[in-house]
Structure 1
């Protein structure tokens, strides 16, 4: 059985919604954007608003433009690199061996002097 309040979900002073209450809407134009995934997006713009050259496809997220024959290609995604990959870009294997040898020598010298190393 439905509850008793007829104005539930409304506020004081609320009236019917529609064109009469809000006034006329601005004239609009629809522009078709095409993505590499084959999707078509048709957002509406005000007639006097500048039309953007590209638009992100809401279905797949790829960039889209107004040229149906030549949609923009998907952006190149660079793979995730680990810290070690960045270090290997900066140093050669010979430099890494030299740095490792210096670190091991310094560690052995600290141990030989009796220093406690955790």
Structure 2
């Protein structure tokens, strides 16, 4: 028998932890929340607080509420817009054509003057 420890896996002060040593547990209130994917979430709250109306579903991340028949709809996600999409919102095609023509004329003038342009 190597090691010489007769009681394996224990330490000083180890023993069963029960209500006597930890004290009484606080009264809990379990509330059911339902998301649009039919997930039910039951978080525990202290009995003396008001439970919130909405809760985020830990499975899918969608909002959930207390009404099983009418869960909140998923939030509308707007797609990512590119820089060009934002520019097209601000400028008409006619304005874009004028800006492009102006930029090309300036570039041609610089090349005609012998300026090195990369």
Whether TM exceeds 0.5 here: the answer is yes
TM-score, with length taken from structure 2? 0.86
Partner residue, 1:24: 24
Q: CA deviation at 1:14?
A: 5.5
- CA shift at 1:15, angstroms? 5.1
1:41 aligns with 2:53: no
Listed as ranges, the gaps of 5+ residues in structure 1 are none
Count of aligned pairs between the two proteins:
114
Ranges of 4+ aligned residues in structure 1 off by more than 6 Å: none
Change in Cα spacing, 1:91 to 1:14, as seen in structure 2 (3 Å) is: farther
Residue 68 of structure 1: how far off its partner (Å): 1.3
Q: 1:18 to 1:96 in 2, by over 3 A?
A: farther
Distance 1:102 1:15 in 2: 84
Q: CA RMSD in A?
A: 2.0
